[in-house]
A = this chain, B = another copy of it.
């Protein structure tokens, strides 16, 4: 029997690559998408398409309204998405976002008796979010292994971060090797309902630079 893994799948470039990697490593994949009322739904559609493409065992969208977190441009529609590089941690930062997502993955993992959670965090080409750093991931894993009945019974959780040391270009090359069609993925913070990217936000900028650096033609659909 293959090992089960929960894959946090946003529908973006990084998490889609992570799903492809987990699948290539022989895991039985359970994809988890968190709908926290982010600004657009295009990434939820992308997540479902990618989950289907990679024939996951199960795909779940969990709804949680985070619109009361007024400080983030991703959850508060009254804050504009910046279209120039930010200094410090940008306004797209969502308080405790990765902790919320990994905790829901942890709950699902325990329910299906999985000991593996995959998340596409990256500490190289990232936006300065504190919950993307290796020391944070390690402390989450330590906490998770005290939090659950499974862990108490000896079935420890491992948080897999296959992209953590990779550049965006390396991620893209790894994904292409593992059958990711990046045209299906949506990274833009302000994509249209149809998944057209702005080409200007932090997330678009990192993605564009990644394709350029990898010398791969960028398949993204941009607003013209």
- A residues contacting B by CB (< 8 A) are 60, 62-66, 68-71, 89, 93-100, 103-104, 106-108, 110-111, 130-131, 133, 135-136, 139-140, 142-144, 146-149, 151-152
CB atoms of A131 and B111 under 8 A apart: no
10 A-B pairs whose Cβ atoms sit less than 8 Å apart in the complex: A71-B111, A96-B103, A96-B106, A96-B110, A99-B103, A99-B107, A130-B148, A131-B146, A131-B148, A142-B143
Q: A103-B103, A106-B96 are in contact. Are A130 and B147 (CB under 8 A)?
A: yes
CB nearest to A58 among chain B residues? B68
CB atoms of B71 and A62 under 8 A apart: no
List the B side residues contacting A147 at CB < 8 Å: 96, 98-99, 130-131, 136, 140
CB atoms of A96 and B146 under 8 A apart: no
CB atoms of A62 and B65 under 8 A apart: yes
CB atoms of A69 and B139 under 8 A apart: no
List the B side residues contacting A106 at CB < 8 Å: 95-96, 99
List the B side residues contacting A100 at CB < 8 Å: 100, 103-104, 107
List the B side residues contacting A133 at CB < 8 Å: 146
